[in-house]
Amino acid sequence: MSEVLYGVEAHVATITLNAPERMNTISGSMLQELSAKLLDAERDPDVRVIVLTGAGRAFCAGLDLTAQSSGSGLQVTTSVGELDLREQPPVVLHGLDTPTIAALNGGAAGYGLDMALGCDLRIAAETAKLAPAFTKRGVLPESGGTWVLPRLVGWAKAAEIAFTGRTLNASECLDLGLVNRVVPADELPAATAAFAAEIVANAPLAVRATKRMMRAGMEEGFDAHVQRVFLQLLPLFGTKDFLEGMNAFLEKRSANFEGR
CATH 3.90.226.10 fits 4-200, yes or no: yes
- pLDDT score, position 1: 78
Render 179-245 in DSSP notation, one character per residue. -SEEE-GGGHHHHHHHHHHHHHTS-HHHHHHHHHHHHHHTTS-HHHHHHHHHHHHHHHHTSHHHHHH
- Lowest-pLDDT choice from 16-30, 53-67, 81-95: 81-95
Q: Outline which parts of the chain fall under CATH 1.10.12.
A: 204-250
Mean pLDDT to the nearest integer, 132-144:
82
| Entry pTM | 0.90
Top-level class of domain 204-250: mainly alpha
C-beta separation of 189 from 201 below 8 A: no
Over the stretch 61-84, which tens digit does the pLDDT of each residue have? Answer: 988 776 545 554 455 444 444 445
Mean of all residue pLDDT scores within the chain: 90
- Lowest-pLDDT choice from 8-22, 87-101, 245-259: 87-101
Q: Outline which parts of the chain fall under CATH 3.90.226.10.
A: 4-200
- DSSP category for residue 178: S
- DSSP category for residue 129: E
